[in-house]
């Protein structure tokens, strides 16, 4: 642990009541003694390195009570007129002095304290990194980024095999034209407060290869948002492209040439985002693109349509966990879970859905979704989107009953709500029904029987009326 005492005081000032004092690095020219009722406090230095100490002094007259408070410092509190305080942790802190005078007046003096980490040079490169470093093609430029710790104010870069071979810029650019593996060296200097100098050598950081194809690739920070929210797109393209052409269906703006744009979506829907990359030296690669789908769901589709909502699930990314579902024959043995699955794009409108494959045999299959509780008897509206997809084995009618089941007890007839019409095939159908429910716990349930089919379930909800 470092400990450094500073004995030369700076930032001395005389203050009127309730005026805040901030430390500076030049000694005040006014050395006149303070008048009664005025604070005269100082700090030796306000910019430190972690582990260093600074000296606080109060020379105010006619003081009856003095309380120092040192945020982030050791000690945290003191009533001494002269106190040395050490700061072990980097950050920005506030030191304050509260004074009470014989006259009954009081004052508060504050000093901003900034504590830096030990100087540590860190080399950043604006490229995709592999396990063996950064790979580029001959003729590529590399943007280097200073990511050093401790706020240096001078930089000395050395680029083996590059043009230029040195730079004093904070974030320089260098071009590599010859095949090989090259070191990068960064020397950082911090003149204030301690004159630190540190150097790091990144051995064989840059690998210059024959031409690497330009291939578009990108990531998003999220794929499901509400209207009015934004998505950040980050290019992960290969081949060091120098031009980016983004197209955002439903987005604002609808296009961008930034490398990493942020796009807002005002309407709900399922939209595509497309990136094309280009490099001037390789026009033959233009048009290499990547596409991702983003989902913007209206608020009522995110289970927030009603404050009385008891159960919901539109199974669109945020609801793709089916671990709480159970499925079995005739309400007895649960042996059909292997036929229950989640699809991210087979739901109503191309979103997510729960999928169940019914082979047409084994009689009735019943399965349950999330549980909800009714605390007082009343009418409740239950709704769900259904789709009966015909498959090659389909013969006869495909039948589903939508029910509310009390405590998984198999008594589906008590709260049977709706039965799909016999001719509902290969289309979405919205089921809505209102039932009076007594207090208790219930589960949404589906009973499937009849011909072989592939059922889809989406936008399930139970609302207390």
Q: What is the CA radius of gyration of the chain?
A: 35
- Cα distances (angstroms) measured from residue 105 to each of 61, 65, 342: 12, 11, 71
**CATH (one of 3.40.640.10, 3.10.300.10, 2.60.40.10, 1.10.600.10) for 10-116:** 2.60.40.10
- Cα distances (angstroms) measured from residue 17 to each of 106, 121, 301: 7, 45, 58
Cβ-proximal residues to 341 (8 Å cutoff; 6+ apart), any chain: 322, 354, 355, 356, 357
Cβ-proximal residues to 428 (8 Å cutoff; 6+ apart), any chain: 348, 385, 386, 387
Cβ-proximal residues to 7 (8 Å cutoff; 6+ apart), any chain: 44, 55
Residue 407 pLDDT: 59
**CATH (one of 1.20.1250.20, 1.10.10.10, 2.60.40.10, 2.102.10.10) for 219-296:** 2.60.40.10
What CATH number is given for 123-209 in this structure?
2.60.40.10
Is it true that domain 309-464 has CATH number 3.40.140.10? no
Residue 246 pLDDT: 92
Strand stretches in 297-377, DSSP E: 309-313, 326-329, 340-343, 353-358, 365-374
User: How far is residue 369's CA from residue 246's CA, in Å, rounded to a whole number?
Assistant: 40
Residue 91 pLDDT: 94
Greatest extent of the chain over all pairs of C-alpha atoms, in Å: 104
> Which residues of the chain are under the pLDDT cut of 70?
1-37, 128-132, 269-270, 281-290, 293-338, 342, 344-352, 360-371, 395-397, 403-424, 443-445
- Cα distances (angstroms) measured from residue 428 to each of 317, 420, 431: 20, 11, 10
Residue 162 pLDDT: 96
Residue 22 pLDDT: 34
Which residues make up the CATH 2.60.40.10 domain(s) of the chain? 10-116, 123-209, 219-296
Structure tokens at 374: 């009714």
- Give the closest residue to 422 by CA, choosing from 403, 394, 446, 450: 450
Residue 9 pLDDT: 27
Strand stretches in 210-268, DSSP E: 218-220, 224-225, 230-235, 243-248, 251-252, 255-256, 262-265
Structure tokens at 264: 């807002």
Residue 182 pLDDT: 95
- Give the closest residue to 274 by CA, choosing from 252, 253, 255, 297: 255
Residue 88 pLDDT: 94
Residue 373 pLDDT: 76
DSSP classification of residue 330: T
User: How far is residue 68's CA from residue 42's CA, in Å, rounded to a whole number?
Assistant: 12
Query: How far is C-alpha 68 from the geometric centre of its chain's CA atoms?
Result: 39
Which residues make up the CATH 2.60.120.200 domain(s) of the chain? 309-464
């Amino acid at each position: 642990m470092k400990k450094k005492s500073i004995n030369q005081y700076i930032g001395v000032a005389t203050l009127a009541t309730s005026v805040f004092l901030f430390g500076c690095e030049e000694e005040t020219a006014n050395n006149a003694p303070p008048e009664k009722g005025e604070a005269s406090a100082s700090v030796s230095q306000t910019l430190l390195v972690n582990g260093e100490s600074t000296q606080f002094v109060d020379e105010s007259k006619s003081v009856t009570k003095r309380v120092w408070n040192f945020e982030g410092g050791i000690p945290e509190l003191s009533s001494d007129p002269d106190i040395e305080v050490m700061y072990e942790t980097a950050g920005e802190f506030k030191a304050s002095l509260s004074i009470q005078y014989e006259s009954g007046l009081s004052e508060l003096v504050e000093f901003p304290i900034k504590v830096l980490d030990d100087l540590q040079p860190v080399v950043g490169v604006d490229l995709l990194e592999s396990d063996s470093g950064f790979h580029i093609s001959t003729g590529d430029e590399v943007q280097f980024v200073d990511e050093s710790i401790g706020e240096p104010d001078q930089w000395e870069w050395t680029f083996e095999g590059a043009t230029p071979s040195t730079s004093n810029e904070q974030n320089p650019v260098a071009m590599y034209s010859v095949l090989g593996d090259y070191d990068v060296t960064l020397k950082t200097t911090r003149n204030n407060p301690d004159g630190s100098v540190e150097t790091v050598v990144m051995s064989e950081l840059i690998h210059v290869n024959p031409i690497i194809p330009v291939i578009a690739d990108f990531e998003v920070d999220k794929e499901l948002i509400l209207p009015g929210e934004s998505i950040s797109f980050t290019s992960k393209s290969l081949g060091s492209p120098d031009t980016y052409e983004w197209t955002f269906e439903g987005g604002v703006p609808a296009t961008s040439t930034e490398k990493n744009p942020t796009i807002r979506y005002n309407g709900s829907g399922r939209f595509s985002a497309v990136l094309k990359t280009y490099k001037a030296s390789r026009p033959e690669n233009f048009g290499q693109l990547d596409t991702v789908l983003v989902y913007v769901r209206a608020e009522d589709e995110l289970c927030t349509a009603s404050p009385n909502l008891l159960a919901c699930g539109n199974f669109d990314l945020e609801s793709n966990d089916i671990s709480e579902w159970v499925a079995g024959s005739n309400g007895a043995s649960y042996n059909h879970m292997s036929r229950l699955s989640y699809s991210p794009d087979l739901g109503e409108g191309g979103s997510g859905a729960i999928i169940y494959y019914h082979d047409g045999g084994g009689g009735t299959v019943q399965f349950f979704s999330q549980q909800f509780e009714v605390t007082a008897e009343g009418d409740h509206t239950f709704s769900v989107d259904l789709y009966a997809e015909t498959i090659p084995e389909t013969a006869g009618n495909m039948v589903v009953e939508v029910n509310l089941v009390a405590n998984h007890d198999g008594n589906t007839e008590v709260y049977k709500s709706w039965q799909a019409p016999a001719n509902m095939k290969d289309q979405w159908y919205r089921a809505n029904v209102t039932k009076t429910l007594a207090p208790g716990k219930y589960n949404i349930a589906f009973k499937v029987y009849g011909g072989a089919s592939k059922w889809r379930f989406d936008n399930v909800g139970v609302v207390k009326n």
